[in-house]
Amino acid sequence: MSDFTTRLKNLRTEKKLTQSEVAQKLGIATSTYSNYEQGTRFPDKQTLINLANFYKVSIDYLLGETDEKLSANKIAEEIADNPELLEFYEAFKKNDELKRLFNHSKGLSSKSIKQIVEIIKTFEINKQ
């Protein structure tokens, strides 16, 4: 459970939020959230889903099963507002060289991921 507690605290501090602020946004008691970070209590399934959605990470990341903050589905959701980028991302997933590059970008914010996809797209366009 130490991966979970460490990741939960790190995600909160990255957002510069207090335990009380996160608890309020999730609709739980501050003491409950504090217990999650201390490892004295573990969230139920729905709260775990809410935490992952709130922090925009996968449940696997929260549980320490992967170091990738975003699942492939979440990445697609992050760029869904831009059909051109989404189309490029889908093609990009099939290119082994680009996949290796992308694997080196694990743990980046969604803003950084969008920037990387846009940069790679620019290189692809210039290559044609």
Distance CA 33, CA 26 (A): 9
pTM: 0.58
Task: Read off the pLDDT of residues 98-116 as tens digits, 9 standing for 90 and up.
Answer: 666 666 665 667 777 778 7
DSSP assignment of 19-57: HHHHHHHHTS-HHHHHHHHHTS----HHHHHHHHHHHT-
What residue segments make up the domains of the chain, in order of their start?
A: 2-63, 72-127
Give kind and range of the element (H or E) at residue 16. none
Task: Read off the pLDDT of residues 65-101 as tens digits, 9 standing for 90 and up.
Answer: 877 776 666 667 777 787 877 777 777 767 777 666 6
CATH class of 2-63: mainly alpha
Contact 76, 69 (CB under 8 A): no
Contact 78, 113 (CB under 8 A): yes
